[in-house]
């Protein structure tokens, strides 16, 4: 039940957290790190105005800043988040216990920035693990908090079971319902919308469905769907205004046609300029090829030759130069460091940051046998040297070949795939930690494991699993795991060749949109 409560909170398209009377954070749902830039573990007991909004003093609009507060109040919160992006929230603060308050932030940035916006997308929630106590009293308290949080939402929220029973419905949707003042515990979900049978576009029938439209009390309502376990979370929003704006846009077609005529005239000028740009582009392409050649020269000339181990690697940039790289670092104590990394973005800027990261790894972390300490060191140095919004994800492991042991750490990178030959299955291995180059003083979780005969340690960047075909479908983990198991008895080079051949077949000849890098280690 406690885990379900956490999933429901993380399934809500809002930023939810609780604070004490001294503004100290007690709980954050999985969306709060998106605006704070901090891992949930690093937010506990921090001041909400500092950790979430980056302020030195309490928010001016916050009711708690005015003194004693008892009840519920809504207000607008205009802030600049850690990425430099301005966001506007509809904030609701509710007292839920002795010296404990729940705050729910609903993103209304798009409406604040542009009144002509026609669609306000509801994003699927992503589950995040929240550490909660198993104590019965704490469980009851969180259940009450969940009910109050859902009730305080300005959007209509309903949680539905596979049997179309209403598990929970908030106050807003009760008021919008065409079922009147019903006992919502004894009616089906479709009756809330005025139907006598399950809706034709019900997500229980088609799990790929993300939204649908309903008419309620003469208003156009958009229903967004997300799911957890066997349940569906339905979020209802009044989009009457957006539809009205679309009608206004259609009425302004004459103005649009005039602008199109002007664009036709401008296009003639652009065609003349295009010939000049082609010549300039040829020069740029030549320079990018040189950057790509320099970048490839920074990759290991050869893979390690270690008794009892087999190695394989592949590097496929999406452009002339990319932001991926891998490395094999031999330490003076016969330990080895292995890594794959992915710099945000593509092209020359990403290649430059990749080269800087490689130089730092080889210069400063040489002989550092703790992977987590190495990542923390590299992060601080990158923060001092990168003053853009770029960042680096990395998976780093330090191996003692004589014992077959590894310690590993991740800076926001994809999980490593470990083929366990004894159980003949593939496990996802990861560790907690944010990406490199944004916040100084971060700690990284470190894990340990041992490789046995036949085990395969498969490291890669996200360009592999996110490669797309013509239908914009991703290659995904299932196909990758299947190939890894199918060729697990082969050498690493053969495994990588078979995987890349399958990825190219899947992409149907389309160019890869992101760099792909692979580094595989097999215990013989």
Check residue 125 and give its pLDDT: 42
CB atoms near residue 311 (< 10 Å): 21
Check residue 521 and give its pLDDT: 97
Length of the chain counted residue by residue: 524
Where do we find the tokens 């130069």? Answer: 321
Where do we find the tokens 């079971």? Answer: 161
Residues in the chain predicted with pLDDT less than 70, given as ranges, are: 1-6, 112-140, 142-143, 181, 275-297, 320-321
Residues 6+ apart with CB under 8 A from 420: 426, 427, 455
Check residue 287 and give its pLDDT: 52
Check residue 318 and give its pLDDT: 81
Q: Per the confidence metrics, is the pTM higher than 0.95?
A: no
Where do we find the tokens 């308050």? Answer: 101
Query: Do the Cβ atoms of 237 and 224 come closer than 8 Å?
Result: yes
Look at phi and psi of residue 37 and say left if phi exceeds 0, alpha if psi is from -120 to 50, else beta: left
C-alpha of 392 from chain center: 14
Check residue 398 and give its pLDDT: 97
C-alpha of 146 from chain center: 24
Check residue 133 and give its pLDDT: 45
The dihedral sign for the CA sequence 71, 72, 78, 84: positive
Query: Do the Cβ atoms of 494 and 311 come closer than 8 Å?
Result: no
User: From residue 479, how far is each of 237, 292, 312, 359 by CA, in Å?
Assistant: 37, 30, 19, 35
Check residue 189 and give its pLDDT: 83
User: How far apart, in whole angstroms, are the C-alpha atoms of residue 449 and residue 408?
Assistant: 8
User: How far apart, in whole angstroms, are the C-alpha atoms of residue 425 and residue 499?
Assistant: 17
Could you give the angle at the alpha carbon of 508 between the alpha carbons of 504 and 514, nearest 5°? 55
């Amino acid at each position: 039940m406690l885990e379900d409560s956490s999933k429901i909170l993380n399934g809500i398209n809002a930023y939810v957290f609780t604070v004490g009377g001294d503004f100290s954070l007690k709980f954050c749902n999985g969306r709060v790190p998106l605006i704070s830039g901090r891992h949930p573990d690093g937010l506990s007991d921090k001041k909400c105005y500092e950790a979430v909004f980056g302020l030195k003093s309490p928010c001016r609009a916050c009711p708690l800043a005015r003194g004693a507060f008892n009840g519920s109040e809504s207000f607008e919160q205009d802030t600049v988040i850690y990425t430099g992006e301005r966001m506007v929230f509809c904030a609701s603060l509710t007292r839920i216990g002795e010296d404990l308050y729940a705050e729910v932030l609903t993103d209304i940035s798009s409406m604040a920035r542009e009144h002509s916006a026609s669609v306000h997308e509801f994003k699927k929630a992503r589950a995040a693990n929240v550490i909660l106590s198993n104590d019965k009293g704490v469980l009851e308290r969180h259940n009450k908090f969940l009910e109050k949080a859902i009730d305080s939402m300005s959007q209509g929220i309903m949680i539905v079971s596979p049997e179309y029973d209403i598990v929970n419905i908030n106050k807003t949707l009760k008021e919008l319902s065409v079922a009147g003042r019903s006992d919502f515990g004894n009616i089906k979900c479709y009756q809330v919308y005025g139907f006598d049978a399950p809706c034709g576009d019900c997500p229980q029938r088609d799990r790929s469905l993300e939204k649908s439209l309903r008419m309620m009390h003469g208003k156009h309502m958009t229903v967004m769907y997300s799911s957890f376990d066997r349940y569906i979370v339905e979020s209802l929003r009044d989009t009457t205004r957006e539809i009205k704006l679309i009608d206004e846009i259609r009425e302004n077609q004459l103005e649009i046609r005039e602008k199109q005529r002007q664009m036709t005239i401008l296009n003639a000028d652009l065609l003349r300029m295009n010939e000049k740009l082609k010549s300039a582009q040829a020069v740029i392409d030549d320079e990018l090829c040189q950057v790509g050649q320099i970048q490839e020269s920074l990759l290991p000339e050869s893979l390690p030759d270690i008794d009892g181990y087999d190695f394989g690697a592949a590097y496929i940039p999406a452009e002339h130069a990319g932001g991926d790289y891998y490395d094999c670092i031999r330490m003076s104590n016969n330990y080895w460091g292995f890594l794959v990394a992915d710099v945000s973005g593509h092209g020359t800027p990403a290649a430059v940051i990749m080269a800087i990261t490689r130089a730092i790894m080889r210069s400063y972390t040489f002989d550092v046998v703790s992977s987590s300490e190495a990542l923390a060191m590299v992060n601080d140095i990158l923060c001092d040297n990168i003053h853009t919004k770029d960042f680096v994800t990395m998976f780093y492991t330090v191996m003692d070949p004589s014992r077959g042991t590894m310690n590993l750490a991740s800076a926001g990178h994809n999980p490593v795939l470990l083929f366990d030959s004894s159980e003949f299955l593939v496990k996802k291995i990861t560790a907690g930690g944010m990406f490199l180059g944004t916040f100084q003083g971060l700690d990284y979780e470190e894990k340990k494991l041992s490789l046995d005969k036949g085990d395969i340690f498969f490291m890669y960047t996200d360009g592999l699993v996110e490669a797309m075909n013509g239908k914009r479908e991703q290659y995904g983990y299932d196909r990758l795991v299947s190939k890894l198991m199918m060729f697990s008895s082969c050498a690493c080079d053969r495994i990588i060749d078979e995987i890349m051949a399958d990825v190219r077949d899947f992409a149907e000849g389309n160019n890869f949109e992101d760099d792909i890098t692979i580094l595989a280690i097999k215990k013989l």
